[in-house]
Every structure is written in structure tokens, then in C-alpha cells.
Amino acid sequence: MANRFVLNTVSYHGKGAINEIPGIAKNEGFKKVFVCSDPDLVKFGVTGKVTDLLDKEGIEYILYSEIKPNPTIQNVKDGVKAYKAAGCDSIITIGGGSSMDTAKAVGIIINNPEFEDVRSLEGVSPTKNNAVPTIAVPTTAGTAAEVTINYVITDVEKVRKFVCVDVHDIPKYAVVDPDMMSSMPKGLTAATGMDALTHAIEGYTTRGAWELSDMFHLEAIKLISKHLRQAVNNEPEGREGMALGQYIAGMGFSNVGLGIDHAMAHTLSAHYDTPHGVACAMLLPISMEFNKDFTGERLKEIARAMGVKGVDEMSKEEYQKAAIDAVKKLSEDVGIPKTLDKITEEDLPQIAEDALNDACYPGNPREATKEQVMDMFRMLMVK
């Protein structure tokens, strides 16, 4: 089967990129925009940076912000209702993965109403029509939902998160402006940045990885390793590097998939509401250790991209350890916790089963038994 690659139609990058938005909206003939953001971003004036531009140019919109982190089926259904009630014809989404994923689900249901139950979109969604024209503006440097064909929704009743994969759902435009990210506090910058590193490392070692995706993932690992510490200190160069690094990681993983780290992270968020980036980061050294002998020489290239010197003189064991240590050091430097006290021994069979049923698991280079997944979760438990 041929390898497929899907990217945004157009993307804008760099400081001040949001100034392009009114022009795009006018060229596209947007009559009434559904602005999809979250309540905190509205409160802290981040959403306003874009809506002020729309106001100035007289572009009509409604603001929808009933979104919680790890967005729910209800958030999507309410969004669809609000979109229809206001008679919108387009979407501008401003936020992290939660706002962008909600907007992506709304945009696909509007043009494919047979999926209005939301649950039926799980997995490879068999939709027929493109989502409504969407401009995605990330405010975190992490998920890269602005350039991926995926979105992740929480099913509160079934206590699970589910991933939807749909080429009809990639935002037509991405506007990646590091100034939209500068208000992120340290902890959020660290967690979302480690999510991006996890995308790059899992994407580089996933089963479907190939030359084109490798090119993106290695560059993303370099950029993120170089810039995450600076971004956590809110230095402009760090913000620029992370805005780009996370986007490049998204260009890659969206097209080839991820692995067991994301499968387990989705489960932690569904059961304990753990922030996505924190879950991914805590599991990254654990999943790399589990997969290391099933990834050929790839950990050597990861170590090199993370700035480890002398990898060519190292034995396999040495470069594998060097790559995993570099990840641990970065996590530690940016303050990622090592344990999650909410996990209990009784929960383990269920969360391990949920992880093995997650859409990201089949991409993992090594098959895992339920017992092995339970052991990996156990490593996060407070002793």
C-alpha cells in the first residue's frame, strides 16, 4: 500500500502570524465564524488577541467556550448546537488541544450529521465530507492538533478517551504564533512541551515510520531538546523554537501514528483527569525502556538529536541508555513529576486493558501483554 501524507493547505509561522487571520477569513468569504476557545483563555485575554482583530475588521463571529481540558462528548454536542443556532459557516479555534479537538469534532459533525452521536467517530472515521473551513490557532506548544488528522474526546460515562482519525478533519489553515503561547505558566509549558517530545520520539519509533516522517521527527526532537528549557523560562527564542518544534512533530506523527505511551496516557487522563502532557512525559522513559530492543538503531539517532556527544563510539546498550537518560534529564529540568499517587493496585487490570484497546497501541513497535502494561503503570505508583 502507498504511504500517504496529509498536511494543512496553508500554515503561517512566527511572531505576529495571527495578523494574517482577518485576511484569510475575508479571502475565504467567511460570513459568520464559530470561535471555539476555552473559558480560561477567554478570561486571560488570550482568545481576545484574535477576536480583537476580527472586531477591527468587522468580521462577524460567535464565541463558544464551554470546553473543559480533556474535552467531553457533551462539549462537542453543545458546540454543534451553538454552531447551528448561530448559523455559522466557518471555524476559528484558539487554544490548546482541548479547544482545537472540540472544534475539529464540531466541524466534522456539521458536514457529516450522521455522526452527531460523536461516539461513532472513534477510530478511522468513515466520514464522506470535509469539515467546515477551519483556521486553527494553537496557544500551547504541544499537541499540534492544528496540523493533525486526529482528535481526542472523553467519554465520561464509559470513563475512557477515544481517538478519531480522519483526513477530512485537518484544519485548512494553521496559524502558529509564539506570542499566543507566551502566557503559559511554567508547568503547562513543560507538560505540553514534553507531549510534543513524546510525539516526536513515539512517531520516530512507531511501526509505520518511514523516511518522510523520520525527517520531521528528528528535526522536532532537536528543536524541542534545544528550546524547551528556555521556553519554560519564557524566553522568546525558546517560545519560537517550541512553536515550530511541536508543529513539525505534528506533521510527522499525524501521518504515521504513535504507540503505547499515548495509549497509556489517554487511559490515565480518562481515569484520573491527569493533564495529557504530564501523563505522556511520565511514561516516556518507561515506554522507551520497554521498546528499546524493538527499534533497531533508532535510539542512537534520538540520543544524537538530543545533543548527546560521541554516540557513534557507543555500544548499543550505551546509546540506548544515553537516549533514555537525556529524556529523564529534560523531564527533571522542567519539573515533570515522576509519580502519580491516584493509581491504585485495584485499578491496574482495568487501566491496562483500556490502554491495550486504545487506537494508539497498534503503532507500538513491541507487543505488550496486560501484565507488562500493569508493570509499566506500577512504575508510576508511589511506593
Which residues here bind ligand NAD, judged by CB under 6 A? 38, 40-41, 44, 46, 69-70, 95-99, 101, 139-140, 142-143, 145, 148, 150-152, 181, 183-184, 188, 192, 195, 276-277
The three three-digit cell numbers of residue 109, written as one number: 459533525
Of residues 88 and 145, the one with the C-beta less far from ligand NAD: 145
Q: Which is nearer to Fe ion, 169 or 195 (CB)?
A: 195
Nearest distance from residue 207's CB to ligand NAD, in Å?
Answer: 18
Angle ∠(285,289,295) on CA atoms, nearest 5: 115
Q: How many CB atoms lie within 10 A of CB 87?
A: 10
Rounded Cα–Cα distance for residues 259 and 248 (Å):
18
259: partner contacted, choices ligand NAD, Fe ion, none (Cβ within 5-8 A by kind): none
205 binds, among ligand NAD, Fe ion, none (CB under 5 to 8 A by kind): none
Q: Which is nearer to ligand NAD, 100 or 322 (CB)?
A: 100
**Nearest distance from C-beta of residue 315 to ligand NAD, angstroms:** 34
**DSSP string for 284-320:** HHHHHHHHGGGSTTHHHHHHHHTT-S-GGGS-HHHHH
Q: Which is nearer to Fe ion, 177 or 195 (CB)?
A: 195
Closest separation between CB of residue 324 and ligand NAD, Å?
22
- 195 makes contact with Fe ion (CB under 5 A): yes
Verify binding: residue 358, Fe ion, rule CB under 5 A: no
Binding of Fe ion at residue 202 (CB under 5 A)?
A: no
Q: What angle do CA 164, 165, 170 make, to 5 degrees?
A: 110
Binding partner of residue 38 among ligand NAD, Fe ion, none, CB cut-off 5 to 8 Å per kind: ligand NAD
Half-sphere exposure (CA, 13 Å, Cβ side) for 10? 11
Q: Which is nearer to Fe ion, 38 or 195 (CB)?
A: 195
Q: Which residues contact 150 (CB under 8 A, 6 or more apart)?
A: 163, 164, 165, 166, 254
C-alpha grid cell for residue 319?
546509546
Closest distance between ligand NAD and the C-beta of residue 113, in Å?
22
State the binding partner of 140 from Fe ion, ligand NAD, none, CB within 5 to 8 A by kind.
Answer: ligand NAD
Residue nearest to ligand NAD (CB): 97
- Residue 162's SS3 state is strand
Helices (H) and strands (E) in the chain, counts: 14, 9
Is residue 162 within 8 Å of residue 359, measured between CB atoms? yes
Instruction: Please state the closest distance from residue 89 (CB atom) to ligand NAD, in A.
Output: 23
277 or 320: CB nearest ligand NAD: 277
What number of CA atoms fall less than 13 Å from residue 240's CA on the CB side?
A: 7
Q: How far apart are CA 208 and CA 32, in angstroms?
A: 40
- Say how far apart CA 263 and CA 259 lie, in whole Å: 6
From the list Fe ion, ligand NAD, none, which binds 376 (C-beta under 5 to 8 Å, kind-based)? none
Amino acid type, 241: G
Looking at the Cβ atoms of 308 and 351, the one nearer to ligand NAD is 351
* CB nearer ligand NAD, residue 322 or residue 351: 351
**Closest distance of CB 205 from ligand NAD, Å:** 17
Cα 84 to Cα 79: distance, rounded to the nearest angstrom: 9
Q: Write out the residues near Fe ion by the rule CB under 5 A.
A: 195
